[in-house]
Amino acid sequence: MADGCLITLLFLSLLPLLLPSFSQPLCTDSRAPSTSKTPLGFCKYNGTTCCGSAEDVLIQKQYLAMNTSDSGCASLLKSILCSRCDPFSAELFRVDSVPRQVPVLCNSTVSENSLQTSQAKNDFCAQVWDTCVNASVRNSPFAASLQGQVGAPANSTYTKLTDIWQSKADFCNAFGGASVDESVCFTGEPVAINNTTTQSFPSGMCLEKIGNGSYLDMAAHPDGSNRAFFANQQGKIWLATIPKEGSGGTLELDESRPFLDLTDQVHFDTEFGLMGIAFHPNFAQNGRLFASFNCDKAKWSGCNGRCSCNSDVNCDPSKLGTDNGAQPCQYQSVIAEYSANGTASQLSLAESAKPLEVRRIFTMGLPFTAHHGGQILFGPTDRYLYFMMGDGGGAGDPYNFSQNKKSFLGKVMRLDIDNIPSAKEITDLGLWGNYSIPKDNAYTLDKELQPEIWALGLRNPWRCSFDSARPSYFMCADVGQDGYEEVNIITKDGNYGWRIYEGPYLYTPPQSPGGNTSQNSIMPIFPVMGYSHTDVNKNERSASITGGYFYRSMTDPCMHGSYLYGDLYAGAMWAGTETPPDSGNFTSNKIPFSCAHDSPIKCGIVPGSSLPALGYIFSFGEDNSKDNFLLASSGVYRIVRPSRCNYTCSKENATTAATPGPAFSPSQASLLGNPFKSLVLLCSFLGLLLLGLV
């Protein structure tokens, strides 16, 4: 049994190498590709690209300086240089994490390229050799450096391929490659991945109500179990067990025993409260958790920090006046760290955390009493903490904070909370708390940015998420001012236009005591989805977007791959589909929804209609099984099988037998932190599997 288990484990360890690894759009500097405001003049890439106008001009200058003697070769070299603009450039220019100056050229002599249909294009490396072999090129990208790095520029002026490479085979061994496991190589044209999957809009969304509580945020337990944390705006966090879909069960949650109670620190009001929770990816080993909330320095001595309106951002707090009776920076936005260490024999079994703050990660005084976002998320691949902050309030961002690169307002920040600097370092570096700066933050591209900033030009980001299938898709909904609600793909150094633009439309602020930013001075990234206020209400009453998730569960297979979002006030929801996949081009439709007839808790109905009375849609949530939830003022709802609401989905029966396997119980999940116990658990499970008992 032990030998068989070890053989099985060996097979499982090799399984990721045997399964295909699907390519996804990503730029060489780890940014997601985006749509340029103006078409590129030299590199003819349409739609999403990894280049802006500045990069396009630099590539053109490099091309002209090469002064290639052969026109056919020059055309190929242009395509090779421009491949840096390809949405898949990260894979084209990195092999085994080693950066290259030249993309991987498709070479059918290595193996058949499964991504390209033309046999001739599979020989692109040979085509480059045959065309350019006798051409003279100044500072050829194919000249090997003294260090022997592939494709590094040489010190010589003119070279021919035959000056360096003895044969076509040697050349293509150095620069060629084939598509293996659906990675990509360059054919002379933008990468095109064959994908016959057609994405259609789901016919409707079926919900079941599993809880009556009103919560603002949800976070799946990092141990992989069927549990999740729920936080309310007043300042309490609960740990709940989520019932299996269709079981008739409800959330197992004891309102009288919160996991963590921060109500003494949290200032609760209409736009204030506990705004976000995040659990360290290694929570099951280190017990670290984080809360983002607002406090009132007039009521809590621990509420202290620098004002976001200061001389660094050309803002004088004494000139702000009052807002709803509050003085500038009376209210603060705080990220604090807490711990569950010592509360249980194993952290996965912990049912409470200590209410004593371990350290203050970030504190900032707010100029007004609105638009301060507050969500926190850990990046799924980089494990840094992302912090979403609004423009601070005031109609039309009067002090232009969102475009001010020295201000944290209207920004997405990215912090390293695993490397805590000393108190002296914090003071010397001018940090706003206990964190360090990731070395690849956006300031490496724009020296004018505060180093904490990842993206700018946002009004009030309300609920962001990383796609669990494609982590480079970092989606953020941004609440509009007067007319438009938007969804953006957040990327490193991205500028999302506010307050020059509201969504895709130019915006004129009612007053500008803080000055203006000119339209031509920025390269805004426009939203990929959104809606106008008249789309949800003919009378143009208030609208406020709530961002959601890419639906990756197979509970509703017809919803799989759609991005879901809603409106806080209207009770309306949309499903966005990307066509073609990985293109960045989305189409979104308002989606009908209803409540399952066998919902564990009966759903209320909007008077005069058959719609569930959701109330306000505060947030969406995702559990460890990738099921999606709605956190509404009327309760907690889960998206369930469409047939439970009589919606038609042809894929449902085909996937019924392929529903997710059993989630780990808390006791099983706790074994995952111990390699030996994990081995025993896995072997036991495999043994039962072979006996047909699971």
> What was the pLDDT predicted at 40?
87
Nearest to 639 by CA among 654, 659, 622, 656: 622
Task: Measure the CA–CA gap between 226 and 99, rounded to whole angstroms.
Answer: 40
Burial label for 425, CB within 10 Å (0-12, 13-18, 19+), is: exposed
* DSSP assignment string, 174-209: HHEE---TT---B-SS-------PPP---S-EEEEE
Phi, psi dihedral angles at 645 (to 5 degrees): -115, 15
Query: Could you say which DSSP state residue 225 is in?
Result: B
Low-confidence ranges of the chain (pLDDT < 70): 1-23, 36-37, 96-97, 109-122, 144-158, 179-183, 193-201, 537-541, 654-694
- Cα Dmax for the chain: 81
Q: Which are the contacts of 126, defined by CB distance < 8 A and separation ≥ 6?
A: 107, 109, 168, 172
> What was the pLDDT predicted at 203?
85
> What was the pLDDT predicted at 481?
95
> What was the pLDDT predicted at 118?
38
Strands (E), 500-604: 501-502, 505-506, 529-532, 545-546, 563-567, 573-578, 586-590, 593-595
Nearest to 617 by CA among 633, 606, 602, 639: 633
Q: Which domains does the chain have, with CATH numbers?
A: 25-177 (no CATH), 205-655 (2.120.10.30)
pTM of the model: 0.78
| Three-state secondary structure of 320-333 | CCCECCECCCCEEE
Phi, psi dihedral angles at 236 (to 5 degrees): -110, 145
Nearest to 267 by CA among 338, 329, 337: 329
